[in-house]
Structure 1
Amino acid sequence: MLRHLLLGFTIFTALHCQAQVERLLYVAQDQGFVYVYDINNGHKFLRKFEVPGTGEFKGISADPIRGKLYLSSYVGDQFVCVDLKTEKVDWSIPIIGYPDSQAITPDGKYIYLPKRHGGGWDVIDADQHKIVAYIKVPFGNPHNTWASLDGTKMYLAAMGNENLYVADVKTNKIIKTVGPFEANQEDPWSWTQKKHNGPKGIRPFAVSKDDKYCYINLDGVLGYEVGDISTGKRLGRVEVGDFESIRGNHLTTSHGVNITPDQKEIWVSNDAGPYVHIFDCTVWPHKRIADIKLNKKNGWISFSIDGKYGYPSSGDVIDTKTRKIVAELIESEKLVEVQFENGKAVRASAR
Structure 2
Amino acid sequence: MNYLHDCSNVLKKFVVALAFFIPVNEALAQKEDMQKYLYVGRSPKDRDGFRELKPSLEVHDINNNHKLVKVIPLPASVMNIRGIFANAKTHRLYISHYGTMKGGETGYILCMDLLSNKVLWHKKYASAVDRGTITPDGATIFMPSGEDTPTDYFYVIDAKTGQEKVDSRVHVAPRTHNTICSPDNTKVFMSAFGTKMDHNWLHVVDARTAKTIRRIGPCFGTVRPFTINGKATLAFINVNKLIGFNVGDVATGKILFTANVPEPYALPADVRNATFCHGIAMANQEKEVWVVDQKSYGLHVFDVSGLPLKAPAWKQFIKTNQGNEKDKQGNFLYGPKAIYGQPGWIMGSLDGRYLYIETGEIIDVMEKKITGYLKGANGKYTHSRFAVEVDFKDGQVVSCGDQFVVGGLSR
TM-score (ref. length: structure 2): 0.74
Please give the alpha-carbon distance, in whole angstroms, between the structure 2 residues aligned to 1:231 and 1:10. Answer: 40
Listed as ranges, the matches of 1:1-351 within 5 Å are: 17-31=30-44, 32-52=55-75, 53-75=77-99, 77-116=107-146, 117=149, 118-133=151-166, 134-160=168-194, 161-183=199-221, 201-241=222-262, 242-243=264-265, 245=267, 252-260=275-283, 262-283=285-306, 284-296=310-322, 297-329=342-374, 330-351=382-403
Please give the alpha-carbon distance, in whole angstroms, between the structure 1 residues aligned to 2:233 and 2:23. Answer: 41
Task: Deviation per CA, 1:101-156: give whole Å up to 9, x if none.
Answer: 01111111111100112321111111233112543434231100111111011011
Q: Is the contact made by 1:336 and 1:350 (CA closer than 8 Å) also made in structure 2?
A: yes
Structure 1 residue ranges (4+ consecutive) displaced by more than 6 angstroms after TM superposition: 9-16
Amino acid at match of 1:179: G
The verdict on how the C-alpha distance between 1:33 and 1:156 changes in structure 2, with shifts beyond 3 A counting, is same
The verdict on how the C-alpha distance between 1:61 and 1:12 changes in structure 2, with shifts beyond 3 A counting, is closer
Task: Deviation per CA, 1:313-351: give whole Å up to 9, x if none.
Answer: 121110001112112121111100010001111100112
Q: Is the contact made by 2:284 and 2:365 (CA closer than 8 Å) also made in structure 1?
A: no
Please give the alpha-carbon distance, in whole angstroms, between the structure 2 residues aligned to 1:82 and 1:280. Answer: 38
Amino acid at match of 2:239: L
Amino acid at match of 2:190: L
Alpha-carbon distance, 1:14 to partner: 7.4
The verdict on how the C-alpha distance between 1:34 and 1:245 changes in structure 2, with shifts beyond 3 A counting, is farther
The verdict on how the C-alpha distance between 1:221 and 1:128 changes in structure 2, with shifts beyond 3 A counting, is same
Gaps of 5+ in 2: 1-21, 45-54, 101-106, 323-341, 375-381, 404-411
Amino acid at match of 1:119: D
Number of equivalences: 323
Q: Is the contact made by 1:145 and 1:154 (CA closer than 8 Å) also made in structure 2?
A: yes
Please give the alpha-carbon distance, in whole angstroms, between the structure 2 residues aligned to 1:168 and 1:235. Answer: 22
Specify the structure having the higher radius of gyration (Cα).
Answer: 2
Q: Is the contact made by 2:131 and 2:177 (CA closer than 8 Å) also made in structure 1?
A: yes
Greater strand percent: which structure? 1
Please give the alpha-carbon distance, in whole angstroms, between the structure 2 residues aligned to 1:63 and 1:14. Answer: 22
Task: Deviation per CA, 1:66-99: give whole Å up to 9, x if none.
Answer: 1111000111520110121222321111122221
The verdict on how the C-alpha distance between 1:128 and 1:252 changes in structure 2, with shifts beyond 3 A counting, is same
